[in-house]
């Protein structure tokens, strides 16, 4: 008998809640379990080995909770750990479960959005350094030029609830100017970090109006819907009672307080240890 259970959604912290929200909007029938490694966030500045090890621990934990499918709703984890987990770990742990990321679904949409074929990527240092976005983009669209800038201060702005403050303006403008200074022909910018949709109003304020801003939640949610349609063997194992549970490596109080920024609702949370 194959395991049945909720869809697991993993992020280094709170950012993945922007993806979970879109899953729940588009596919409200399923059960979800969200795991935030809040005690060890951010991942964006950590090494490949550490992000891989932490992400694998999280996937194993979500498997313990019965998830037949886990989405790495974190670009840094998708960039640095997804491939190794899919290729090296899953065959040993359980070849009948699946782990998916957020980069490929985001990349798939851009071919139809850019006219100039010049794309900008704003992401964590880890995601930029991994080159996962340009690699995936060039597999599908070899003609597109990609320019990437790391925004190391944006995640702390969001995590510290400063994303709406006047002080955030300086750092939002700084990285956008850097990106558009490097390639003024950019007409589409990927917000390649799950935290950035919370900064979108400010990002919009400092971005010329002809430029498309891509917040990935919607694209990832449509891609999940499509995936489940194409994989009935996985879909039939995802339980569908419309529930949502939250796990954190931080304290319950801290999670409830900070998650309110992303969720606008009080949630039931359990504190767990990853090892």
Kindly list the catalytic residues: 74, 193
Q: Minimum distance from CB of 64 to ligand DGL (Å)?
A: 22
Q: Which residue is nearest to ligand DGL (CB)?
A: 44
CA-CA distance, 214 to 189, in Å (whole number)?
A: 6
Q: Are strands 269-271 and 244-248 parallel, antiparallel or unpaired?
A: parallel
Chain residues that interact with ligand DGL, rule: CB under 6 A:
11-13, 15, 41-44, 74-76, 124, 127, 155, 193-195
Nearer to ligand DGL, 46 or 237 (CB): 46
Measured from the CB atom, the residue of 168 and 193 that comes closer to ligand DGL is 193
Q: Distance between CA 154 and CA 171 in Å, rounded?
A: 7
**What phi, psi does 32 have (nearest 5°)?**
-130, 150
CB 127 → ligand DGL: shortest distance, Å? 5
Q: Which is nearer to ligand DGL, 238 or 263 (CB)?
A: 263
Q: Which is nearer to ligand DGL, 158 or 234 (CB)?
A: 158
The SS3 assignment for 20 reads helix
Phi, psi (deg, nearest 5) at residue 65 = -85, 5
Q: Please tell me the distance from the alpha carbon of residue 55 to that of residue 78, in angstroms, as a whole number.
A: 9
Pairwise CA distance, residues 209 & 12, whole Å: 32
């Amino acid at each position: 008998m194959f395991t049945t259970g909720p869809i697991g959604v993993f992020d280094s912290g709170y950012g993945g809640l922007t993806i979970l929200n879109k899953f729940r909007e588009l596919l409200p029938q399923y059960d979800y379990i969200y795991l935030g490694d809040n005690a060890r966030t951010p991942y964006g500045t950590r090494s490949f080995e550490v992000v891989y090890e932490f992400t694998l621990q999280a996937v194993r934990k979500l498997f313990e909770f019965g998830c037949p499918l886990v989405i790495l709703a974190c670009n840094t984890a998708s960039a640095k750990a997804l491939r190794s987990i899919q290729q090296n770990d899953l065959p040993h742990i359980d070849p009948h479960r699946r782990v998916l990321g957020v980069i490929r679904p985001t990349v798939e949409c851009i071919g139809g959005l850019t006219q100039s074929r010049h794309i900008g990527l704003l992401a964590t240092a880890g995601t930029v350094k991994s080159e996962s976005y340009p690699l995936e983009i060039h597999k599908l669209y070899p003609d597109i030029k990609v320019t990437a800038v790391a925004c190391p201060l944006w995640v702390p702005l969001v995590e510290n609830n400063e994303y709406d403050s006047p002080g955030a303006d300086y750092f939002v403008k700084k990285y956008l100017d850097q990106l558009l200074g490097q390639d003024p022909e950019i007409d589409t910018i990927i917000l390649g970090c799950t935290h950035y949709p919370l900064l979108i109003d400010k990002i919009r304020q400092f971005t010329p109006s002809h430029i498309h801003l891509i917040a990935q939640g919607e694209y990832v949610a449509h891609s999940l819907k499509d995936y489940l349609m194409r994989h009935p063997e996985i879909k039939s194992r995802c339980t569908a009672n419309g529930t949502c549970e939250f796990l954190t490596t931080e304290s319950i109080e801290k999670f409830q307080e900070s998650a309110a920024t992303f969720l606008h609702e009080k949630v039931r949370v359990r504190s767990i240890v990853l090892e």
